[in-house]
Structure 1
């Protein structure tokens, strides 16, 4: 025997109200998901920008020769900010002199990059790189491996480096 359950009948106004509420809730959920997706996408783009700046900086630092050192130092200086920029500006000429006097030639290659910290306004990026380095007139190169920790701050629509250090 079937149970005889009677559901209350909703009036036309109640059915329309319920449909409106359900539709409104569905639209609100879709809009919210769209906003979350957009924010995630924006965070991904900003994170990628920070990684690109750190990668370019380390690659410029490990790819050197006397013919391009001035251009490299200028490019590196444009990516810096704050006290770190002042420190860099203070030793850039000495660094160029060493590269020129010792006839250093180095070809760097970024092996891997990882984001250690990121909050949308600051980032810490770890860059592993290798370089083939030659001195003087010798064609003999020495392989060098480096790991560099790069600290960045977002300044408007750009990422600027506020610190760099070689790490083990």
Structure 2
């Protein structure tokens, strides 16, 4: 009988060891999946942040890169990066914008563009954009470089960030 008891004990110990190792492996799989999901989520947050900053920077450049000879194309660039009330406002004022740029024979260029996220939450972001713009026209042929700062609210539309509101900041 001792031989049979020792065999049963050995089988039981093997089963317990197998179950314990199985539980350990399952726990490790769950931990690896969880860590992977956290890393992917953080990567997605970083990508959204970078895309929002880039969209705001581009809008800043678009706002300040205007030439009387290409005013409609310049306005179209602005409209392509806008949404909501801002897009409606730009579209409504398009004729006035084009006429005033043409009448003044304005040309403006941009240098030294910086942008930073103030806040971001899923499908909305607030970004500050700072840039230097130089405006020239026949009355001021050499132009004057001036700093500009914009606070922009952005909305995520699909995989794009679009500016929904902007205001100049002193």
* Superposed structure 1 runs of 4+ greater than 4 Å apart: none
**Structure 2, unaligned stretches of length 5 or more?**
1-9
Match of 2:50, SS state, is helix
More strand per residue: 2
Equivalent-residue separation in structure 1 for 2:15 and 2:139 (angstroms): 91
Question: What is the correspondence of 1:14-163 to structure 2 with a 5 Å cutoff?
Answer: 14-136=16-138, 138-163=140-165
Match of 2:67, SS state, is coil
CA contact under 8 A between 1:132 and 1:141: conserved in structure 2?
Answer: yes
Q: Is the deviation greater in 68-77 or in 104-113?
A: 104-113
More helix per residue: 2
RMSD: 1.7
Aligned length: 160
TM-score calculated relative to the size of structure 1: 0.88
Equivalent-residue separation in structure 2 for 1:156 and 1:105 (angstroms): 34
| Greater Cα radius of gyration, structure 1 or 2 | 2
Compute the displacement of 1:139 (Å): 2.8
CA contact under 8 A between 1:123 and 1:152: conserved in structure 2?
Answer: yes
Compute the displacement of 1:111 (Å): 2.8
